[in-house]
Amino acid sequence: MTINRRQFLTGVLGGSAAAGLVRFSGMGSLLSMAEASASTVPKNGPFVLVTLSGGNDGLNTVIPYNSGTYYDWRGELAIPAEQVLHLGSDGVHEYGFHPSLTTLAALWKQGKVAIISGVEYPNPNFSHFQSTYIWQTAQLSGDPSTGWLGRWLDATGTDPFRALSIGPNLPPVLVGAKQQASSLVDSTSPGAQLPGQNPQFSGAYHQLMTTFSGEVGVQAEQAISGKNLMTVGSKAAAALSREKTPTPASGRNSGDIGNQLGIVADLINYGLPTSVYSVDWGGFDTHSAQAENHAGLLTSLDAAIEGFMSVFPSPVPGKSPVLAIYSEFGRTTRVNASAGTDHSSASVVLVVGPGVKGGFYGATPSFTHLDPYGNLIYTTDFRKVYATVLERVLGIESPGYVLGGSFKPIDFL
Amino acid sequence: MATNPALVAHLYRRAGFGALPAELDELSKHSWTDLVDNLLAGLSGPDPAGEAVPLPHLTSIPQSNVPGYQFNGWDEYNNLISWWLERMIVTGTPLREKLALLLHCQFPTSWSKVGWAYMMYVQNQIFRTLGPGNFETLVQALAKDPAMLIWLDADTSHRDDPNQNFARELMERFTMGAGNYTQEDVVQSARCFTGWELDNVSGEFFFNPYDNDDGIKRFLGRTGRFTGEDIVSIVCNEPASHRWVISRLWSWLAYPITPNAPIVQDFVHGYSKDLNITNLLGAMFNHPAFVSPRAMNGLVKQPVELLVGALRVLGLTTAPFSPGQLAGQLGNIGQVPFTPPTVGGWGFNQYWQSTGAAAGYIQQAYSLASVANLTALENGDGHPAAQVTAALSLIGLPKVSNRTHAALISLAESLKTNNGSWPAQQLVTLALLAPEFAIN
């Protein structure tokens, strides 16, 4: 979906409506809660989960450019050594970013980018849907489950500000058994004239969406979504009407991912008491004509990060976002007959932020010992990344109950 | 024997897009069995009202190949969405349109990748014509459907390098569900679909024997020189597929379940005999659990169901809305026809109850109330209780919670001082947002 950030949500509950809503929403108490907890805010945060849907090609994102095997595998899709943006060696290979990732390369030099290699889970699943589900639930079987951040929501109360997703459909990661994240949408489609300008309407809507004590069931859930919209939406509208996120100085088009991360930057900068943001961007399923498509996708991603990170040049408590950029799987080591690559397994996770400890983490998968399908075998359990976020961003001392086991954090934070 | 109007309303919401308050009186005079039989008969009978909705101009591949021919794919896409919504609104065979919608949810295919509204229409007609019959026949047709061929990458699947996308989704999403096959089954069955191509001149399915792997494959414990058709036949007749198809339909018609839910077993015997969807639907509507409290209160309307139901009770068609307007509003709620987010499709209940969707619903409800003919309320005496009763009656919600009633009364009271015609639009907007209206 396309989001026009300046009109985003304000049509629903903006202007005088937002003012009219504050009366009902208990905003004062929420603000004081946020202030009270400020002293215990971990050094890094909030957490921004960036999902690249479709299966981003890790081998052509962080490129082992001195490996002959890489060139054998990739043929026409291989990025020549003289084009990569040099990152140095992890002890196994010399690596370079894809030439589109100029901002990430600059941030790497500033020590703000962690590259975690070989991340995946055991017994890779090559279905987009199943693999995304495994990543988002941190449950390996693919059976119906709750999201790993949904379980964190279940365990930490009912405040609707805790987690925010951009777009109407919540990804599974943000849905728990009892709690789910809030989400925000665009309201710019034709005919979006709304009754929110009328305080009487807003008051009645609030009454309509107030649950009875102890009420459960689908009607209660419907009411809670409306109530939470008023609480979160009015504040978000205020944030977006005040903040002015700079566009990428390079002038590159950051596309939809730029819009989404721009909204997140505004909300963080405004000081929303939100610990987790989630954005989702697709198009990485590059089965054919990959070279051009992938370069375009990475250019938009890099431009989006350029705009986002320009707002957060150095760590400030509550405004030291940690972006974790992942995809449901990497792509096949070998180029296919359509100048593309197919679904595969282990790939890289990039973590970016003003307070991130840059460097190589995890371990490069073997290029000689592959799985029966010729895919890279993972070296780093994805739940270690989550454990790091839960302990060192969200301040959960023992995240085992969220992850279904104990996983050692990685020192990128 | 007459049927309780509340049950009739329930049946018509689930098996269609809701009965109008005026229709309920007449329908309630009939027995449940007759009502169900009548809905089922509509699955294969003519639908003059639906057929009368003019199909917008849609460009086929052969047309586009004419030198100099130009078309606007975005307009065709939006016009096609309006066309289908209009059919849902006016149809005389509501279960057939509902089934087409549910099959779209079961075989989620998106115009955003397919790129041809015409192909989305062709697939939509397959749902309408073959959906009520034998499930394997339906899947055989969909496996060769041009939209499906593009959607799941038939063009990148070759004898020397089979693409696994279709083979995997066929099993995982369309017929059996995850956990009932191995990666090796995906690899082997993908070989069987090689050489299945879309002809770029005719725009039709084309079998290319030179790019087809006709070797021996091992698949789900069997060994043979299987074709793609063989694979479809095998998976549709697996016990796992019986449970999957039953659980999916029950989840959309009664309440969400998994394939392992005990109630699935109640339908397995009947369905496994003939894979007939009409018979399965009949068995579901006649199952006692279909009218259990869990079913009556346990399912949230999908956004398309809610929109079409709202348009119907308000006496509206798609006519007052510009192409793309209703689609844009649905996009903010998260369900645009012909545009599922992934091959995983959409979710159930909680999936539709995000704060983002709540914002979209406010916008949509106000838009609908703005164009509806609300003369009866506007000319009413303005007495809050009478106005609220009239608004609820209009949208077919005779019984609501004290909460909903009180909220509507408080808005009606605040509106009563207005001069001239009474501002019914706001009251109807709020009524459409009542949690009760979101329940299917």
Instruction: For residue B430, give the nearest of A12, A208, A222 by CB distance.
Output: A208
Q: Exposure pattern of B9-24 as b/e (b: 16+ CB <10 Å)?
A: bbbbbbbbbbbebeeb
Instruction: List A52's β-bridge partners, or say none.
Output: A281, A327
| Pairwise CB contact (< 8 Å): A9 & B426 | no
Neighbours of A68 (CB within 10 A): 9
User: Which residues on A lie below 8 Å from B331 (Cβ)?
Assistant: 1, 168, 189
Count of A-B CB contacts under 8 Å: 226
Q: How confident is the model at residue A247 (pLDDT cuts 50, 70, 90)?
A: confident
Say yes or no for a CB contact (<8 Å) between B179 and A224.
no
Query: From B299, which residue of chain A is nearest by alpha-carbon distance?
Result: A218
Chain A residues with CB under 8 Å of B329 CB are 189, 191-192
Contact B355 A167 (CB under 8 A): no
CB contact under 8 A, A287 and B153: yes
CB pair distance less than 8 Å for B408 and A169: no
Distances (CA, A) of B145 to B118, B123, B227: 12, 7, 17
Two tokens, residue B5: 């109007």
Percent of chain B with pLDDT over 90: 85
B-chain CB neighbours of A186 within 8 Å are: 332
CA–CA gap between residue A206 and residue A219 (Å, rounded): 15
Question: By CA distance, what is B158's nearest residue in A?
Answer: A337
**Which chain B residue has its CA at the smallest distance from A145's CA?**
B258
The helix (run of H) or strand (run of E) holding residue B40 is helix B32-44
Q: What is the DSSP string of A181-236?
A: -EEE----STT---GGG-HHHHHHHHHHTPPPTT--SHHHHHHHHHHHHHHHHHHH
- Closest CB from A183, A191, A338 relative to B356: A183
Q: Compute the average pLDDT of residues B165-190.
A: 94
Q: Please provide residue A164's backbone torsions phi and psi, each rounded to the nearest 5 degrees.
A: -130, 135
Mutate to test the interface with A, among B152, B362, B414 (most CBs of A within 10 A): B362
Which helix (H) or strand (E) segment holds residue B222: the answer is: strand B222-224
Residues of A in contact with B429 (CB under 8 A): 195, 201
Contact B179 A129 (CB under 8 A): no
Residue of higher predicted confidence among A194 and B256: B256
Of B342, B351, B367, the CB nearest to A191: B367
Q: How far is B59 from chain A (nearest CA, A)?
A: 25
- When pLDDT is averaged across residues A218-231 and rounded to a whole number, the result is 92
Mutate to test the interface with A, among B354, B426, B439 (most CBs of A within 10 A): B354
Tell whether the model's pLDDT for residue B155 goes beyond 50.
yes
Q: What mean pLDDT is predicted for residues B118-127?
A: 98
| Chain A, nearest residue to B155 by Cα | A338
pLDDT digits (tens, 9 = 90+) for A301-333: 999 999 999 999 999 999 999 999 999 999 999
Are A340 and B324 in contact (CB < 8 Å)?
A: no
Nearest CA distance, B210 vs chain A (angstrom)? 15
pTM of the entire predicted model: 0.87
pLDDT for the residue numbered A354:
97
Mean pLDDT of chain A: 86
Q: What pLDDT shows up at residue A33?
A: 35
Strands A359-362 and A85-89 turn out to be unpaired
Question: CA distances (Å), B325 to each of A188, B9, B11, B434, in order?
Answer: 10, 29, 30, 23
Q: Tens digit of pLDDT for each residue in B348-371?
A: 999 999 998 998 899 899 999 999
Cross-chain Cβ contact B415/A218 below 8 Å? no
Q: What is the ipTM of this complex?
A: 0.93
pLDDT of residue B397: 92
- Give the span between the Cα atoms of A35 and A375, in whole angstroms: 49
pLDDT over threshold 90, residue A74? yes
Q: Are B122 and B50 in contact (CB under 8 A)?
A: no
How, if at all, do strands A47-52 and A276-281 pair?
Answer: parallel
Chain B residues within an 8 Å CB radius of A225: 353-355, 357-358
pLDDT at site B423: 83
The answer to whether residues B223 and B188 touch, using CB atoms and an 8 Å cutoff, is no
Contacts of A125 in chain B (CB under 8 A): 183
Comparison of pLDDT for A4 and B59, the residue scoring more: B59
Beta strands in B308-399 (DSSP E): none
B317-341, pLDDT tens digit by residue? 999 999 889 999 899 899 999 999 8
Q: How far is B351 from chain A (nearest CA, A)?
A: 7
CA distance A86 to chain B (A): 33
- Please check whether residue A123 is in contact with residue A140, taking contact to mean a CB–CB distance below 8 angstroms: yes
To the nearest whole Å, the CA of A110 is away from the closest chain B CA by: 37
pLDDT at B343 over 90: no
CA of A108, closest CA in chain B: separation in Å?
A: 33
* Mean pLDDT in residue range B138-148: 98
Chain A positions touching B244 (Cβ under 8 A) are none
Give contacts of A336 with chain B, Cβ < 8 Å. 156, 161, 163
Per-residue pLDDT reduced to its tens digit, B237-260: 999 999 999 999 999 999 999 999
Contact at CB, B430 and A201, closer than 8 angstroms = yes
pLDDT band at A186 (very low <50, low <70, confident <90, very high): low
Measured between beta carbons, the chain B residues lying within 8 angstroms of A187 are 332, 359-360, 363
- Give the residue, B311 or A31, on which the prediction is more confident: B311
In the chain, the amino acid numbered A350 is L
Question: For A327-336, B105-114, B158-167, B280-289, which range has the lowest pLDDT when averaged over its residues?
Answer: B158-167
**Do the chains contact at B436 and A219, CB–CB below 8 Å?**
yes
CA gyration radius, chain A: 22
Which two tokens mark B123? Answer: 């697939």
DSSP code of residue A24: H
Residues from chain B contacting residue A143 (CB–CB below 8 Å): 179
Please give the structure tokens belonging to residue B243. 């449970």
> Which chain A residue has its CA at the smallest distance from B329's CA?
A189
Predicted local confidence at residue B420, as pLDDT: 67
Prior bond of B384 cis (ω within 30°):
no
pLDDT in tens, A114-142: 999 999 999 898 888 889 999 999 998 76
**Over the stretch A328-374, which tens digit does the pLDDT of each residue have?**
999 999 998 889 999 999 999 999 999 999 999 999 999 999 998 89
Cβ contacts (< 8 Å) between A212 and chain B: which residues?
403
Identify the band that residue A236 occupies on the pLDDT scale cut at 50, 70 and 90: confident
- Tell me the average pLDDT across B6-24: 96
Nearest residue, CB atoms, B350 vs list A9, A180, A198: A180
For residue range B182-223, what is the model confidence (pLDDT) as tens digits?
A: 989 999 999 999 999 999 999 999 999 999 999 999 999 999
CA neighbours within 13 Å on the CB side: how many for A47?
Answer: 24
| Percent helix / strand / coil, chain A, rounded to 5 | 40, 15, 45
Contact: B354, A168; criterion CB under 8 Å: yes
Contacts of A373 in chain B (CB under 8 A): 183, 187
Distance from CA of A153 to the nearest CA of B (A): 14
Q: Contact A340/B156, CB-based, under 8 Å? A: yes
pLDDT at A40 over 60: no
* A338: chain B residues, CB-CB within 8 Å: 155-156
Q: What is the mean pLDDT of residues B407-420?
A: 82
Whether A225 sits inside 8 A of B357 (CB atoms) is yes
